[in-house]
Structure formats: structure tokens, C-alpha cells
Chains A and B, each alone.
Chain A
């Protein structure tokens, strides 16, 4: 399994739009989508319904929505940062919320970036594109290194 993105998002519309934006930015990496906070942790720690997975195979980046069923995004973030294997994994908080509290709390819990999902599609696309470029560049450099 190659480098992949974990998208934690419960809204199917946002999933489709996010996938489309990634595709339009020519990001061909696999995107694993989980629908709630609990499943995100199950996936990352290879437990529960994802028990058969190799726990060492982690995503390049997690796009984490905050308002999630079962377990809130901030709690997911907290658990990711608390776990040895995932504490350095890049996490970009992705939410519609512009509440200051959420922003402050996300950074406090160790979010790498905060992207508000803008209603405006262009802005959203741009945000995701910039994110995509971040690890795409990394991906390419690794690839280049491999080729050398």
C-alpha cells in the first residue's frame, strides 16, 4: 500500500467534493475515508473493524473534520497525539466552524494546520490544493530519492 491520505469526514457531499478537488489537483494518491471519530481511531490503531490492518502503515496526512459522530474531532486529535506511533503524524483540521475556541483548542492539541472549509468552492479547492501540494511535494521527493 502506497502513500495515502486519511479523510475523516461524515458528510458524503463533502467527501465527494474533497475527492473531486484532489483529483482536479492531480493528486492520485489513495484516499481512505472514514465516517466517524471512532472509526478513524480504529483505522489508525488497526483495531475494531480495522483489526486486520497493518498498524505501521500510516497515512501521509489526516484531513480531520471536527464535528464528527461518536467521537469529536478534537478528541480524535488528542488520541492521535497521545499515541506513540501517531504523535508526529501531520493532522490538518478541516471544518466549517470558525469558532475561536475550536481554532485555539485545535492548535493546543497539536494540529499542524487549520483549514476552514469555505463555502466558496474556489477557496476550498485552493485550500485542499495547497495541502495536497504539501505532501505531494514530499511524495515526489521521496520518489525521486528512490529513483536515484
Chain B
């Protein structure tokens, strides 16, 4: 079962992983590519514009030389202010001057911590071999000549592992003025001819483009910037994306937890309601049970009343008529007959006491307990006096510890002492020096009252039967009793929340202990 669940769950988990890793990665890549392309294009455009500015400033210089410097030189030559043989490229060649100027420019750049910018005036037929075009540059010259509307060309390239941006513009097309120095050699100024012996820079055609100006700048820094910017963008986007996903996930978690909590709250409310309902049911049941108990109690009352009245009526008849027989017809009955009549009356007396005791047991156990502070010693003394008054012939020594107080129901505790002291009095009858004591002990920190006698005692084997109703450990011949007294005592003690127990041995007396 569990493997089936995990088998079902694993593809789901894989799908989630793909979603969690793949989607952000893919979007990051796309964003990176797009941002890189954008930033690179922007950076190159800026670089291109800068290069064009350089080239245009160079062109401006060329124009200045062509249109201002050289016509001045021409005039001075014609006016004879300078000798016909004078020519100095340092004063008259715009390409020379531009080249030198550019090298100064580079020196300034380097001083400023900037990389130098490569510059070349590439020509098919240069006067200075420095300016000679490579085959590629020669092709460019051809291209510009073929299409005069082409203003410039630009591209990037890698040299020795470094990226560069290269821009090329055509040199000024040859004018009439140009051809004064670049036409036929023999037409050129004498100083020029003297300085440049070969055909380099001569025989140019009118309108033709004889050179291109090339500027090449390193763009590694710009590329790095582009990469950095795009990486930042990607990082930012990725972060945002992750944040968004995390947020979604958190929201999902919160939602799930909220749902769980709501369910829990609902469950608790239901449980609470159930408990309340159960309580109500229980209360109702308790009330019902109480009502039943009250009804049962009422029935018991009625029963006890019937017992006290109905059982006694026939008994009274038996006792009364046997006495009447004995008294009114004594002559007609012999001694045996009179003995039988006496036995009948004795039986009636005993049964009357049984009924009385039973009624007392039921009355004592039914009535409400009212706890008051009681002087148990005084109560015991009262009982002892009554016992001795009831049997003037008996000699018994009562030792009652004074000042024993307890909280309990006066009537019920009186019944307890009646029974316990009465029993002690009864079972010490055969003993020559009867001693009966009532006192208090401490057992495990608890107050324990006791009634002790030195009477006939009983066998501890039968201690279980001691407190049962109608249970007797002695025969009726030796000791009278109904077997209800100790049952009554135990019920009273239990109803007070106490315990009662006894210790004895045959012929060794007995001690009854109780707590309240």
C-alpha cells in the first residue's frame, strides 16, 4: 500500500522539481540573453558614436588643411613669399598631421587611464609606407569607390582574444585642389617632388576616394559592463521570480495551514458541542437517575412503613393471644404447654427487635447527614451510663478518653457508639473484670477512634462476615443479637467517608477501629 502511494507520488514530485528549478532557470536564461543583447547593442552604439566623433573631428582637420592651409600655402608660393622648393609634410600634409595629432591624443588618453585608440589612414598608393593598405583595407577602398553613398562601415572583431569595435569612413574624394599635389608628379610643387621620389601619392583621379580612415577601439570594458548589467538584471529578475514563487508557495502554505486550522477549529467546536451535549445528556440522566432514586427512596419509605405496621400486627396478635391464653386459661395448660407459650412470646419479642433493628438500619442509612462538631467522649459516657443502668447486676469498667471531638451526624454517631459499646458490654458479660475503653490513636497521621474490650473476642477467620447484615459470629443462646448492629455501624461510618475495621482473637477481647 505504502509503495503504491510513493510510486504515485514520485512523478508528481519530479514534476514539481522541474517546475521549481526549470522555469526560473529558463526564464533567467531568456532574460539574460535579451538583456545582454540589448545592453551590448546600446554600449556598441555609444562606442560607435564616440568613434564617429573622433573620425569626424579628424575629417574636419583634413578639411581645414585642404581648404585653409593649402590654399594659403599656394598663394604664398605664387607670390614668391616662400621659395618654390619649400615643402614640409609637418606643415602641409593633413594625414601626417592627423597621425601625429592622434598619437598625442592617445598619450593624453593613457595619462587619463584610458586605453589608446588605434587609428590608420589606409591608402592604395601612399606616400608614406606607414599608410599602405592591407589587402582587406584595399577592398574597403574599392567598396567606398564603388558606392559613394556609403558613408561608413563598422563591425566588431577579436584580436589576440580582445574584443574591438572598428569603424571605417572614406577619405575626402579627390578635388581639383587635391590633384595639385596628388595629380601627376611633374605638376606637383618642387619641394614635394624632392621629398617623395617615387610615384606614391601621385596619379590620383578626380572624384576618386584614395584612402579610408580606420579607428579601432577596445570594447572589453563595455562588454564587461554589458555582461554585468545583464547579470544584474537577470539576478534581479531571478530574485524577483524566486520571491514571487516563494511568495506563492508561502501563500499556499499559509492557505493550507489556514485550512487546517479552520478544520481544527471546526473539529474543536464540534467536539465542544458534543461535550456540551454529552454534559447536558449526563445532567439530564443524573436528574433522571436522581428522580428514580427519589422514587426508590419513597418506595423504600413506604416499604419500611408497611414493614413496621404490617409485620408487627400479626406478631402482636401471636404475642397477645399467647399471653391471653397463658393468663386466662392457665389451669387448662400444663408446664410443658406453658413453656411452649413462653417460647412463642420470646420468639415474638425477638422478631419484634429484628424488625425494629431493620427499620433503624434503613432509617439511619436513608437520612441526610448533618455534620456538626461533636463531643464523642460525652456521647460515649452517656451510652455507657445507659448500658450500666440497663443491667444493674453487671460490673464493667468503662475507660473513656476525655475531650475526643469529631465532626459528624449526632444521631448516626450515637447509633455507632450504641452498637459498638453495646457489643463490648454484651461480649464482656462472661468476663469477671470487664474493661471497655473508648479512645483515639494516630495511624499514618490520621486520627483513628477505637472501642476495645477484654471480652470473648472472635476468630479473625470470620472477620469478613463481621459487618454483613444478619451475620452473627456467636450463637443466640450465648449472646442475643440480631446481626444488624455492625452492618448499621459500617453504613454510618461509610456515609461519613470513614473506614471501620476490627482486630480480635477468641478469648482475647476485640478492638473496633474507625475513622471519620
Contact = CB atoms under 8 A, between A and B. Distances in A.
Contacts of B359: 98
A64 B471 CA distance: 38
B57 interface: no
Contacts of A121: 316, 319-320, 323-324, 345
A119 B319 contact: yes
B101 interface: no
A13 B308 contact: no
A95 interface: yes
Which secondary structure dominates where chain A touches chain B?
loop
Given A119-B348, A119-B349, A120-B349, A96 B313 contact: yes
A51 B451 CA distance: 65
A98 B309 CA distance: 9
Interface string B343-362: 00100110010001001000
Interface string A111-122: 000000111111
Given A96-B312, A97-B309, A120 B317 contact: no
Given A99-B305, A119-B348, A17 B313 contact: no
Most buried by A among B308, B320, B345, B359: B320
B155 interface: no
A18 B308 CA distance: 19
A95 B305 CA distance: 11
Interface string B462-491: 000000000000000000000000000000
Which secondary structure dominates where chain B touches chain A?
helix
Contacts of A20: 320, 324
A11 B314 CA distance: 9
B349 A13 contact: no
A35 interface: no
A120 B324 contact: no
Contact of A17 (B308, B316, B356): B316
Contact of A99 (B308, B349, B352): B308
Nearest to A10: B313
Chain A interface size range: 10 to 19
A14 interface: yes
B320 A124 contact: yes
Contacts of B314: 13
Nearest to B304: A99
A27 B313 CA distance: 24
B425 to A, nearest CB: 22
A81 interface: no
Nearest to A13: B317
A98 B308 contact: yes
B364 interface: no
B246 interface: no
A122 B327 CA distance: 11
Q: Which 4 interchain pairs have the tightest Cβ spacing?
A: A13-B317, A119-B352, A121-B323, A17-B320
Contacts of A122: 323
Chain B interface size range: 20 to 34
B315 interface: yes
A97 B313 contact: no
B321 A17 contact: yes
Interface string B270-311: 000000000000000000000000000000000011001100
A67 interface: yes
A97 B316 contact: no
Contact of A13 (B313, B323, B345, B356): B313
Given A67-B309, A119-B348, A124-B320, 19 more contacts: A13-B314, A13-B317, A14-B316, A17-B316, A17-B317, A17-B321, A20-B324, A96-B308, A96-B313, A96-B316, A98-B308, A99-B304, A99-B308, A119-B319, A119-B352, A120-B319, A121-B316, A121-B319, A122-B323
Interface in A54-111: 67, 95-99
Nearest to A122: B323
B315 A119 contact: yes
Contacts of A67: 305, 309
A82 to B, nearest CB: 25
Interface string A42-62: 000000000000000000000
A67 B302 CA distance: 12
A96 B319 contact: no
B175 to A, nearest CB: 151
B321 A14 contact: no
Most buried by B among A17, A20, A117, A119: A119
B310 to A, nearest CB: 8
B316 A13 contact: yes
B318 to A, nearest CB: 9
A13 B309 contact: no
A23 to B, nearest CB: 10
A74 to B, nearest CB: 12
A14 B305 contact: no
Contacts of B324: 17, 20, 121
Contacts of A119: 312, 315-316, 319, 348-349, 352
14 contacts: A13-B314, A14-B316, A17-B316, A20-B320, A95-B309, A97-B309, A119-B315, A119-B348, A119-B349, A121-B319, A121-B320, A121-B323, A121-B324, A124-B320
A5 B317 CA distance: 22
Given A99-B305, A99-B308, A121-B323, A14 B313 contact: yes
Contacts of B304: 99
Contacts of A120: 319, 349, 352
A17 to B, nearest CB: 4
Nearest to B326: A121
Contacts of A95: 309
A67 B309 CA distance: 8
B477 to A, nearest CB: 22
A7 to B, nearest CB: 15
